[in-house]
Structure 1
């Protein structure tokens, strides 16, 4: 079995972030900017501009995500961080109407994007990335983590839509489904600490 490890996306791992994002799907062109920009901003930016935005995030702290490695090779990515820093969330009707958490609460984190290189799919990297994202959020003081996964039990799902993650992966990690705002989509949450701590 290959050795799977995860590391924070820090400045010294920038090349690894790019390798993880470039192995299939929309990662190379999106640069994980979809949830940090509004529709208009995303449409106005080029791939190079999005790459520079992500580079600035990686250079700052906390890291905007984690990298999965398979036998030392960068193989996957997950975005995790304060929900307030992912501005599209507050503009997405499905989330706004379905979340029980106040949109301005900085103690709520969100997991919004997974990317796994084609040659490493089927190894359970999303589950490993999710486990590490939970750990990072807990260590960083998050109270709750939310995510917006796809329910893959409803039939065939285009692989590019799976960047949200699969509902089964989140449920297996202890998340609870808090809303089902439309067919095939869910809002899930994991409480890390009580509100008065």
Structure 2
């Protein structure tokens, strides 16, 4: 399964942290790439630094227009999932989503254009109360993959957290620079 995320919009400065967290959750929860527009380029630097330290090949790609990437992915047989509080409840959609091969998840910032509701193959809501797009993305990615994304190690990791009941245990790989 290939999973990619597109972040639509960003409230300048205010959303830098939120957009960074959308990228971090995408990476940690098994997505392969995130497309971003209207973004602070430092976010890409942050994610690349995380990749170098914690492993993986997660990609950040800047785009000019969200619509062109959504349409291109549809042509490439990706199913488009729009995360929306007003969508179909995730409990009713998750089994169908788990069967899909290629997914592009649309995560909005401010009010998303009406057109995304029409372009999406799935409009999916996580709960019926106001909440963060970060939490909705994490829940969606976990439900789609049934927790299997946490069973794999990230390649080339210099650090790895070793689960432990008490305290912290971080394995640090020796490197020669």
Q: Same fold (TM over 0.5)?
A: no
Tell me which structure has the larger Cα radius of gyration.
2
**TM superposition score normalised by structure 2:** 0.30
